[in-house]
Amino acid sequence: MSKYNIPVDRVIRHYDVNGKPCPAYWVDETLWEQEFHGRLTQPDIPDGLADQAASDGNWYYYKDNQVATDFTGLAQNVNGWWYVRNGVVNFGANTVAQNENGWWKVTNGAVDFNYTGIAQNENGWWRIENGKVNFDYTGLAQNENGWFYLQGGAVNFNYTGLAKNDQGVWYVRNGKVDFDYSGNITARVEKGRVIV
């Protein structure tokens, strides 16, 4: 078409001229349009996450002009960073996901660069700072479920003992500050706080 300046409406099959089933597979009009002729006029779709929604309202991740249903991960477009599952942005995703730059907090499908706290994925609960997992964090941190003890950025649900932050020393049971605990350890504890 390019070499001889042939317009798309002049690209035809033997079948269109003499009725010969050639090419036999594309004698079927639907297959001919979907798989060959109709694609001649479609512009190439750049690899990666599309910058706008498709006609069905979804945002797709493309590879070689096709939705990359084998892709799951974080991808960027002009609207930000998004969690893609099986080639489509999952706007319901609330997780922690990875890309080449680290692990990130995802809220409603988008990477949340403003989040600081603790968030969960299938691998555990993680300390997030400015949207990114801080694997160097050891200490107490809070989310909507309470205060937790973290080691290496992850909540350590096996830890029972004392932990300190700028508010004092606290009793931790199974990774979570136990605000109902009162008793003796090596010091007096009332409502989870060590009384020195």
Q: Does residue 162 form part of some domain?
A: no
Beta bridge partners of residue 49, listed in sequence order? 61
Torsion sign across C-alpha atoms 83, 89, 90, 92: positive
Same domain, yes or no, for 52 and 107?
A: yes
Q: Does residue 60 form part of some domain?
A: yes
pLDDT per residue, tens digit, the chain (196 aa), is 878 888 888 888 898 899 888 888 888 888 888 778 777 766 678 899 999 888 888 999 999 888 999 999 999 999 999 999 999 999 999 999 999 999 999 999 999 999 999 999 999 999 999 999 999 999 999 999 999 999 999 999 999 988 989 888 899 999 999 999 998 877 767 888 766 3
Please report, for residues 10, 20, 38, 126, the alpha-carbon distance to residue 27 in angstroms, rounded to integers and kept in the order given.
17, 9, 14, 57
* Residue 146 structure tokens: 């309470």
Q: Does residue 129 form part of some domain?
A: no
Q: Does residue 5 form part of some domain?
A: yes
